[in-house]
Amino acid sequence: MPDDIDIRSSQTRMEVAYGSGDGDENMVAIVAKKEASLGTIFDQSYKPWDGELGPRWMRNYSIYRHHVYGLFTSKGHRYYHPFVRLTILVIFLASLTPIPMLFLSSLLPGQDGDILSKMWGINRFNLWGQILGYFPRNLCMWPLLTALVVGGMISDDRRNGTSAIYFSRPINRFDYTAMKFLSVSVILGFVILFSYFAYYTSAIVFRGEGWAYLIDTLPLFIGGMISGIILIITYTSIGLALSSISQSRFFAAIGFLSVIYGTKIIALLIDLQFDTSIMYILSPYDCLAHLGQFLLGLELNYSHPLAFSIVSLISFNIISMGILISRISSMEVTRE
């Protein structure tokens, strides 16, 4: 009897599932439609993609293009707010302001042209000021430019879950980090180094200088160029490190400005109070300025050894890159 009960109960359950046999012999599924008419079940099958992936350089270039081309067009690339684009354009044009003065000096005859040429022409101080001058470049231009660029470089990926697209495949974390770093460096380099190169070449062309003048000033130009490259690397590493630890554009931008301005002001106050420049090793700008003065052969404005500033610069970059790599390695292939 227990077996019969199990059989009948099983049969009852089957009839509940498929019907009692009245009108259900066709076994056709009913599709949910307005007319509630008979339909069919669509067979959905997923097949793996057997195509070939693009080369590694092309995948990396897509990250670079996404960030850099977004400055000029937002279609299919990173969106930069119009105010951000306008600010970057103003910074770029402001960094080219010595060029019109050089052109004016070439038009003025006699002593007036010579005075303007000495004020705006090529010399150690002007080449240093074009890259590392505190005002206006490292007070108003370069930190603000870096803050605008790095603001959402990685924090947007953390907030929006874009890392799932990057890291699921075929982008690895090293390529992701390298392309982010390269994108920021290229944008900063275009504004800083291009304006520096344009200033140097314009001064030679407008004044009609010869090869002897070019050979004499070329070591100074190279020293300033090296200073600019080190500045770009340092600002990029600090900015990306701050962008990687937050999901907010505002935090990364304000944090970078706080690091540059805050350390400068604290070191300046200690220098004025205790007449010592040792605390300037905590300021990225002052370490860069100290090294730039040495590369251009200027008189050093700091009483502490140059080696301290070099070690501090190396430490800034190592710590920043360590934070950046650690945070990116912790980003999962899911929305955080």
Mean pLDDT of all residues in 318-335: 84
d(CA 154, CA 156): 5
Query: Is residue 322 predicted with pLDDT exceeding 60?
Result: yes
**Between residues 253 and 53, which one has the greater pLDDT?**
253
| 52 pLDDT higher than 80 | no
User: 21-51: per-residue pLDDT in tens?
Assistant: 555 455 554 444 445 455 555 566 666 667 7
d(CA 117, CA 127): 14
Q: What is the pLDDT of residue 18?
A: 44
Q: What is the arithmetic mean of pLDDT over 174-197?
A: 96
Cα–Cα distance measured from residue 66 to residue 230, given in angstroms and rounded to the nearest whole number: 25
Distance, in Å, from the CA atom of 328 to the CA atom of 218, rounded to the nearest integer, reads 40
pLDDT at 49: 63
What integer is the mean pLDDT of 234-246?
A: 95
Mean pLDDT, residues 262-282 taken together: 95
pLDDT at 169: 64
Instruction: Give the confidence band of 114 by pLDDT, cuts at 50, 70, 90.
Output: confident
The answer, yes or no, to whether residue 172 has pLDDT greater than 90, is no
- Secondary structure string (H, E, C) spanning 81-135: CHHHHHHHHHHHHHHCCHHHHHHHHHHCCHHHHHHHHHHHCCCHHHHHHHHHCCC
Confidence of residue 171 (pLDDT cuts 50, 70, 90): confident
Question: Positive or negative, the Cα torsion across 51, 57, 60, 62?
Answer: negative
Band of pLDDT at residue 227, cut at 50, 70 and 90: very high
**Which pLDDT score is estimated for 260?**
96
Confidence at 249, pLDDT banded by 50, 70, 90: confident
Question: Does the pLDDT value for residue 107 go beyond 60?
Answer: yes
Mean pLDDT for the chain overall: 85
Residue 323: per-residue pLDDT: 96
Q: Is the pLDDT of residue 1 over 70?
A: no
pTM score, whole prediction: 0.83
